[in-house]
Structure 1
Amino acid sequence: MAQVLARTERLVNAGNEGANSEGNQGNFIPLSLRIDMARDEARAIAAAKGIESPESAVAWDIVEELLSVAAHRRTQEPKSAFERYCLEHPGASEARIYDL
Structure 2
Amino acid sequence: MSNIQTKIEEELIQARQVCDISGGNSKECAAAWDAVEELQAEASHQRQNKPKTSLEKYCDDNPDAAECRLYED
Same fold? TM cut 0.5: yes
- How many positions carry a matched residue from both structures? 59
Rounded Cα–Cα distance in structure 2 between residues aligned with 1:71 and 1:41: 21
Say whether residues 1:88 and 2:61 are aligned partners.
no
1:42-71 deviation digits (Å, cap 9, x = unpaired): 000011111110000000000000000000
- Alignment gaps of 5+ in structure 1: 1-28, 92-100
Greater fraction helix = 2
Work out whether 1:59 is the aligned partner of 2:29. Answer: no
**Superposition deviation, residue 86 in structure 1:** 5.4
Residues 4-15 of structure 1: pairs in structure 2 closer than 5 A: none
Quick one: higher RCO (CA 8 Å, sep 6+), 1 or 2? 2
* TM-score (ref. length: structure 2): 0.68
Match of 1:39 among 3, 9, 12: 12
Structure 1 or 2, whichever has the larger Rg, is 2
TM-score when normalising by structure 1: 0.51
Sequence identity percentage: 31
Residue-by-residue CA offset, 1:14-63 (whole Å, 9 max, x unaligned): xxxxxxxxxxxxxxx81110000000000000111111100000000000
Distance 1:51 1:87 in 2: 49
Residue in 1 that maps onto 2:41: 68
Q: Which runs of 5+ in 2 are unaligned?
A: 60-66, 68-73
Counterpart in 2 of 1:4?
Answer: none
